[in-house]
Amino acid sequence: MANAGTQSIIKHMIKEHRVSILAIIEPMIKPKPEYFSRRFGLQYKGCNENEQIWIFVENGVEVDEWDISEQVLHGRFSTLEHPTPFHLSIVYGKCSRAGRLPLWDKLREIAARMEGVPWLVGGDFNTFVSEEERQGSNLNRIGEMMDFADVINECQLLDLGADGSKFTWSIGETFERLDRALIGEG
C-alpha cells in the first residue's frame, strides 16, 4: 500500500467497478485512515488486531457488530439501497497449520451467531481444500486441507468459485489457490 502505483490501481478499480466496500489484506504499512480515505474516496472503518486487514466503505454504508481478531475482521453491513443487513468476514490466515487453528475456531464461533443471516467470508486463507488447488509441490498437506474442509462444512459455507486463473499465489514452480470467497446463511 506504500506504493503509489498500487494505490492508483485500487483507486481506478473502485471507480470502474463502483466498489462500495473495500477490504485490503496485508498492506505492509500501518493504516493512515485520513490519507487513504481521501485517496480512495471511501471511509476507513477499521482494522483487525494486527492491522493486516483494513475495511473502507462508501458513504451510506453502515458497519456495526464488529468482531475483531488477529486473523478475521468481521462486521454487519447495511445500506439504504439494501435494507437486509449482511455479515462480512475478511480473513488473513496464518501460514502454518497450527497458526490457523484459532482462525477455524473464530469462524465456527461467528457461524453459530449467523442464524439465517447472509454471510460472506473471503480473503487469504493461506491454505486450500484439495490437491487440485495446488501444483508443483509434493508436500503432504492433507491434514490442513481436512481442517479447512471441515470448517467450510461445519459453518455451512459454499465456495463461490472464481473467474480467471485457477491459482491465486505462486512461488517458483509452486502454484496454489489460497484466496477465496465463501457464502452462507447461518
At residue 152, the pLDDT reads 97
Q: pLDDT, tens digit, for every residue of 26-73?
A: 999 988 999 999 999 999 999 999 999 999 999 999 999 999 999 999
At residue 165, the pLDDT reads 87
In this prediction, residues 147-176 reach a mean pLDDT of 93
Q: pLDDT, tens digit, for every residue of 78-133?
A: 988 887 899 999 999 999 999 999 999 999 999 999 988 899 999 999 999 999 99
How far is 40 from 59, CA to CA, in rounded Å? Answer: 12
DSSP 125-179: -S--SSGGGEES-----HHHHHHHHHHHHHTT-EE---SS-S-SEEETTEEE--E
Alpha helix stretches (DSSP H) within the chain = 4-17, 33-40, 97-114, 142-154
At residue 81, the pLDDT reads 81
CA 138 from chain centre, in angstroms, equals 27
Question: Does pLDDT of 181 surpass 90?
Answer: yes
At residue 186, the pLDDT reads 53
At residue 171, the pLDDT reads 93
Highest mean pLDDT (candidates 70-74, 160-164, 168-172): 70-74
Please report, for residues 5, 11, 116, 140, 154, the alpha-carbon distance to residue 105 in angstroms, rounded to integers and kept in the order given: 37, 34, 20, 23, 11
